């Protein structure tokens, strides 16, 4: 496992598309190599990536960003995407990527490593359960995007 470098961006985008395909959203990816280069390696990156690789290249990604807990008064990591190519699953790649992020949390004093998982993704849920990652009962993810985001974001705008 290592921090991603700018030259990884084409392969990172390939894996993002594979993840979208796996999650039954093949047409949802609008990201580009140029976007990744800017967002992960530009002047003020707000997102970060770690990769797993073998002789064929990048085989797994962990894309993440910082969160902040007002209750803890500390940062945490939100894992946006964890994806390992199908032919690499079961070899410890996903565990190693998560362990890398957990290590960052411990070293930097972050209090949380959190992510979301689709409720139908039983293999991932079993994997997360096995490493001790619990579900947050009573919480529901909400999202504001598209027309609703535009409408709220322009309310009262001058």
Which residues are designated catalytic?
128
> What is the C-alpha to C-alpha distance for residues 39 and 49, in angstroms, rounded to an integer?
10
Query: Are the C-beta atoms of 81 and 63 separated by less than 8 Å?
Result: yes
> What is the C-alpha to C-alpha distance for residues 69 and 120, in angstroms, rounded to an integer?
28
**What count of Cα atoms within 13 Å lies in the side-chain half-sphere of residue 97?**
29
Query: Are the C-beta atoms of 53 and 12 separated by less than 8 Å?
Result: no
> What is the C-alpha to C-alpha distance for residues 68 and 124, in angstroms, rounded to an integer?
25
Query: Are the C-beta atoms of 29 and 20 separated by less than 8 Å?
Result: yes
Main-chain phi, psi angles of 82, to 5 degrees: -125, 120
């Amino acid at each position: 496992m290592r921090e991603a470098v700018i030259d990884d961006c084409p392969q990172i985008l390939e894996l993002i598309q594979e993840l979208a395909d796996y999650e039954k959203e093949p047409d949802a990816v609008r990201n580009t190599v140029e976007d990744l280069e800017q967002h992960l390696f530009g002047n003020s990156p707000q997102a970060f990536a770690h990769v797993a690789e073998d002789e064929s290249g990048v085989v797994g990604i962990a894309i993440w960003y910082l969160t902040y807990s007002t209750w803890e008064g500390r940062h945490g990591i939100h894992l946006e995407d964890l994806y390992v190519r199908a032919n690499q699953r079961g070899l410890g790649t996903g565990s190693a990527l998560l362990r890398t992020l957990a290590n960052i949390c411990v070293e930097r004093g972050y209090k949380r490593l959190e992510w979301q998982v689709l409720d139908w993704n039983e293999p991932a849920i079993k994997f997360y359960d096995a490493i001790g990652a619990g579900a947050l009962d009573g919480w529901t993810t909400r999202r504001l995007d598209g027309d609703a985001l535009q409408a709220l974001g322009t309310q009262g705008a001058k």
